[in-house]
Amino acid sequence: MQNLTLSRIQYTQLDAATWCATADVSSALPAANHSLSPPFTIPSSLNIDGSTDNRTQMNHQAEACFADLSWQYVVKRHTSAQKKAQHKRQQQRDGVRLLLQQLLATLDIDDTLNESQFPYQLSEHRYYVCFSHSGGGRHSKVAVAISYRRAVGIDIETHDVEWHVAQRFYHSEEIAVLTRLPKKDRPLAAKVLWQVKESFIKIHQYTLAQGLGINYAPIISDLNIASSKATASLPLLSSKASDYQVVFSAQQQVIIVF
């Protein structure tokens, strides 16, 4: 596991058998590598006497060398970006597991995660476990939820859902409800709805297309009211589409379904 730092950790008990935790996770990024391989050299055959023909030949050869230099730099920079992306993904995977360890320690639960099948569960205590992460660069947000009763879903999201993406994947009734909202409220409502869908996908192990297409239009108005309140409190919303409860925290940018 990387040398990670968790900050702004928040623990919340949702009911007698369900808890969640959120945090920011950071770690040192690998050093950028801008070296060139093979090293750039000017060909020894380059003739630099004062004649016009030789100057023209020198310019053409130099242009070819610098074109090769630019190509090598782009390739190296692309490789560096790939490494940073891999580092971010690993940071997030390790970060949610570190947060789970701290949540279990806070609850005085001595156990390990069984990752052999979905949904995840603790090996001995049989709590269901769900992870989520979002963000990039040197800092990411991570979240974990555990519940003894049944599978639980959690989704933390820092990015908006583009309207054209919502129109492509959401149910037609959901699009109709979202369209009737004031334009300023639509982006947040669309994002929170996406998080609800993601959480149910994790609970029921739906495919992405299947889960995004399910109609949760009946709870959009409740979600919109909750999302408009920038408060640390966690309003409980009873989903009319199921017997699950939906919790939203604007401050933590997290949805929990349990």
Residue 175 has pLDDT above 90, yes or no: yes
Stretch (H or E) spanning 187: helix 186-204
Does the CA dihedral 169-172-175-179 come out positive or negative? positive
Residues 188-206: what's their mean pLDDT? 94
Residues 73-82: what's their mean pLDDT? 62
Q: How confident is the model at residue 3 (pLDDT cuts 50, 70, 90)?
A: confident
Based on the number of CB atoms within 10 Å of its own CB, is 220 exposed (0-12), middle (13-18) or buried (19 or more)? buried
Based on the number of CB atoms within 10 Å of its own CB, is 144 exposed (0-12), middle (13-18) or buried (19 or more)? buried
pTM (predicted TM-score): 0.77
Residues 6-24: what's their mean pLDDT? 95
Q: Name the more confident of 72 and 244.
A: 244
Residue 63 has pLDDT above 70, yes or no: no
The confidence score (pLDDT) of residue 71 equals 52
Mean per-residue pLDDT over the chain, rounded = 81
Residue 206 has pLDDT above 60, yes or no: yes
Give the three-class secondary structure for 208: helix
Q: How confident is the model at residue 243 (pLDDT cuts 50, 70, 90)?
A: confident
Does the CA dihedral 228-234-235-236 come out positive or negative? positive
The confidence score (pLDDT) of residue 97 equals 96
The confidence score (pLDDT) of residue 77 equals 58
Q: Name the more confident of 160 and 49.
A: 160
Residue boundaries of the structural domains of the chain: 1-151, 159-258
- φ, ψ for residue 64, nearest 5 deg: -65, -40
Rounded CA gap, 225 and 206, in Å? 27
Q: How confident is the model at residue 79 (pLDDT cuts 50, 70, 90)?
A: low
Q: How confident is the model at residue 232 (pLDDT cuts 50, 70, 90)?
A: very low
The confidence score (pLDDT) of residue 83 equals 79
Question: Could you tell me if 258 and 15 are in contact, meaning their C-beta atoms sit under 8 angstroms apart?
Answer: yes
The confidence score (pLDDT) of residue 37 equals 45
